[in-house]
Structure 1
Amino acid sequence: MVDMLNDWMLESSQNFNIVVGLTTVITIGSVLLLFSIMKKFGEPDERTKTIKLKILSFMFSAQLIMNAIFILFVVSDIEYFRQIFLFLQGFVFLIGAIYAMTLYKKDFA
């Protein structure tokens, strides 16, 4: 799948710009959503620190899994190694934002 994405990005600069733009939108949107949900949790105390640590732990676990999959299954001679790696990092923030939303709905709704 990564080889197909790399080949698609190599076809034209427009395809490359689509991937970079999508990565940027996913990352910035996820970070903004994550920070807004973190603000909704309220002032820092024992309860909110525990919730934030759960979210960060979940994001760190997702980061380790994504990096392991990337290192194990991606060949080292692909052209756009960094762009695909940053694309996966955007998904880590998206996973954190989704997990924060589920915790917020479970605890506060």
Structure 2
Amino acid sequence: MIDVLNNWMLESSQNFNIVVGLTMVLYVGSLLVLFYIGKKFGKPDERTNGIYLKISSCMFTTQLIVSAIFISLVDRNIEYFRQFFILFQAIVFIVGAIYAFRLYRKDFKY
């Protein structure tokens, strides 16, 4: 899958720009969701510190899993290593945003 995406990006600069643009949209969107949900949790106290720790733990675990998959699946001679790495970082932030939203609904919306 990664080789197919790498070859597709190598075909033209427009394909490369599409991948980079979508990655940045995912990254910025998930960061905005994380900040918005963080503001909804309220001021830092014992309760919110636990919630933030759960979110950070989930994101760190996802980072370890995604990095292990990335290292095991990516060939040495891949052309766009940085773009894939940033794409996987965006996936980590999406998982964090989804988990934060889930905790928010569980704690505040019943």
TM-score range (shorter-chain normalised) is: over 0.9
Aligned-partner residue type, residue 70 of structure 2 = F
Unaligned residue ranges in structure 1 (runs of 5+): none
Aligned-partner residue type, residue 98 of structure 2 = I
Per-residue deviation at 1:85? Answer: 0.8
Per-residue deviation at 1:73? Answer: 1.1
Matched, 1:49 2:49: yes
Summarize deviations over 1:64-97 as a string: whole Å, max 9, x none.
1000000011111010011011001001000000
User: For 1:97 and 1:31, how far apart are their aligned partners in 2?
Assistant: 7
* TM-score, normalised relative to structure 1: 0.99
| Partner of residue 40, structure 2 | 40
Once the two structures are superposed, the pairs formed by residues 68-79 of structure 1 within 5 Å of their partners are: 68-79=68-79
SS at match of 2:79: coil
Q: Report runs of 4+ in structure 1 exceeding 6 Å deviation.
A: none
SS at match of 2:75: coil
Aligned residue pairs total: 109
Aligned-partner residue type, residue 94 of structure 1 = I
SS at match of 2:77: coil
Aligned-partner residue type, residue 22 of structure 1 = L
SS at match of 1:44: coil
CA RMSD in angstroms comes to: 0.5
Once the two structures are superposed, the pairs formed by residues 24-103 of structure 1 within 5 Å of their partners are: 24-103=24-103
SS at match of 1:106: helix
| Partner of residue 20, structure 2 | 20
Aligned-partner residue type, residue 58 of structure 2 = F
Unaligned residue ranges in structure 2 (runs of 5+): none
User: For 2:57 and 2:90, how far apart are their aligned partners in 1?
Assistant: 16
Aligned-partner residue type, residue 59 of structure 2 = M
